């Protein structure tokens, strides 16, 4: 596959049908009121018609026992000409198990917008290997179902991903949140999460040039897993000149874990293939639990781990920290497999 010949799926329009699938965990089964709020926002804000596929509301136990059924929903959604895009309900921890059951021919012959993040990194890697652009972000039960209303920043980013040919220039959000509200308490559907003041983008190893490349990445923890199994990684040649994007989840991996991930890229001779790295602001709390060193130190330690690993491997590419994607909100939607322009002189980023 020629990495220069990626296929961007067609944009969609108001009134189109979008498939709702659960390729990872069964949270809609456990918290249907959260899930249904997300479906209503898809209808009311985006004027789209959500079509629930068979596994969308299945229990966690059923989904765990039936990875082929989850894959079948993905295959059917791509193959159904009435479906114009595919949205994941949420992430999880075992989506890799559905990949052997996916139909490469059906998926590649019917390119469509796929949207999801976290454990959906597995599907994004699969689609990248097929030469298809996909969209990292926007889970039904999180961004669409956001308590107290969707963030305008997220709404605009999703609109650009769905309805516009390109997302265009992206800017940091003036505020963000990594807090959680208990889904078991239905009154949280109307509550807003506490927000922190955004610090703007932080540019490390800034160079006086314009960088262009193709985006590849996702959840750091899932990427780390794929570095160990090496079944769904692109070749070194395919990653030549790519832009890596990474973010961390509610697992809140230690700075040592982060360093070893970047070091593994170095040892596999992948690190030197990238032209730049985009790093999201990390989630630094989960259900009122904090890292041992505290929020601020955790965020700082993660940045230092990445910077130190690159320094130790003699890599001096630009790193842009504090980006708004992944497990904090609001979200930029990342076009995985899409092109990006990074202007280090003007400190601007554009998804092409």
Same domain, 325 and 287: yes
* Displacement of CA 282 from its chain's centroid (Å): 13
110 part of a folded domain:
yes
- CA dihedral of 6, 10, 11, 14, whole degrees rounded to 10: -160
Q: How many domains does the chain contain in total?
A: 2
Query: What pLDDT score does 207 carry?
Result: 87
Say yes or no: 182 and 73 in one domain.
no
Q: Please tell me the pTM assigned to this model.
A: 0.97
| pLDDT number for residue 2 | 47
Place 288 in a pLDDT band, splitting at 50, 70 and 90: confident
Specify if 72 maps to a domain. yes
Q: CA-CA distance, 230 to 267, in Å (whole number)?
A: 14
Is 5 a member of any domain? no
pLDDT of 182 above 90: yes
Q: Is the pLDDT of residue 219 over 50?
A: yes
Statement: residue 92 has pLDDT above 70: yes
What is the per-residue pLDDT across 29-80, written as a single tens digit (0 to 9) for each? 999 999 999 999 999 999 999 999 999 999 999 999 999 999 999 999 999 9
What is the span of the domain harbouring residue 119?
A: 17-166
Distance separating alpha carbons of residues 295 and 250, to the nearest angstrom? 12
pLDDT tops 70 at residue 251 = yes
Q: Domain end: 133, 166, 199, which one?
A: 166
pLDDT of residue 24 exceeding 50, the answer is: yes
Buried b (16+ CB within 10 A) or exposed e, 304-333: ebbbebbeebebebbbbbbbbbbbbbbbbb
For residue 124, give both structure tokens.
Answer: 């994004």
**Domain termination residue (choose one: 147, 166, 185):** 166
Judge if 190 and 137 occupy the same domain: no
Residue 93 in domain: yes
Residues 179 and 111 in one domain: no
Q: How far is Cα 349 from Cα 212, in angstroms, rounded to an integer?
A: 10
pLDDT at position 218: 98
Shared domain check, 158 and 181: no
Q: How confident is the model at residue 3 (pLDDT cuts 50, 70, 90)?
A: low
**pLDDT confidence of 295, banded at 50, 70, 90?**
very high
Query: Tens digit of pLDDT for each residue in 221-240?
Result: 999 999 999 999 999 999 99
Q: What is the mean pLDDT of residues 12-34?
A: 98
Last residue of a domain, one of 128, 146, 166: 166
């Amino acid at each position: 596959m020629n990495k220069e010949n990626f296929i961007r799926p067609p944009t969609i329009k108001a009134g189109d049908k979008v498939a709702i699938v659960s390729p990872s965990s069964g949270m809609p089964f456990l918290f249907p009121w959260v899930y249904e709020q997300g479906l209503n926002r898809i209808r009311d804000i985006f004027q789209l018609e959500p079509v629930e596929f068979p596994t969308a509301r299945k229990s966690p136990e059923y989904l765990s026992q039936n990875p082929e059924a989850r894959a079948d929903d993905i295959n059917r959604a791509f193959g159904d000409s009435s479906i114009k895009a595919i949205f994941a309900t949420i992430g999880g921890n075992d989506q890799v198990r559905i990949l052997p059951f996916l139909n490469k021919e059906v998926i590649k012959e019917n390119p469509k917008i796929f949207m999801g993040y976290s454990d959906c990194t597995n599907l994004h890697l699969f689609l990248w290997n097929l030469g298809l652009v996909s969209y990292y972000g926007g889970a039904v039960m999180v961004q669409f179902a956001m308590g107290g209303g969707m963030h305008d920043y997220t709404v605009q980013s999703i609109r650009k991903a769905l309805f516009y040919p390109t997302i265009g220039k992206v800017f940091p959000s003036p505020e963000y949140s990594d807090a959680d509200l208990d889904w078991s308490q239905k009154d949280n559907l109307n509550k807003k999460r506490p927000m922190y003041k955004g610090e703007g983008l932080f540019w490390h190893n800034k160079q006086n040039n314009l960088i262009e490349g193709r985006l590849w990445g996702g959840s750091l923890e899932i990427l780390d897993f794929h570095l160990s199994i090496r079944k769904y990684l692109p070749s070194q040649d395919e990653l030549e000149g790519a832009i890596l994007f990474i973010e961390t989840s509610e697992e809140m991996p230690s700075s040592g874990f982060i360093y070893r991930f970047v070091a593994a890229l170095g040892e596999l001779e992948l690190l030197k293939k990238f032209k730049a790295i985009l790093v999201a602001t990390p989630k630094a709390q989960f259900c009122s639990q904090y890292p041992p060193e505290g929020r601020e130190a955790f965020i700082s330690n993660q940045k230092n781990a990445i910077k130190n690993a690159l320094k130790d491997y003699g890599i001096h590419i630009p790193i842009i920290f504090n980006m708004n994607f992944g497990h904090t909100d609001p979200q930029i939607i990342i076009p995985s497999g899409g092109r990006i322009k990074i202007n280090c002189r003007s400190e601007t980023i554009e998804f092409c």
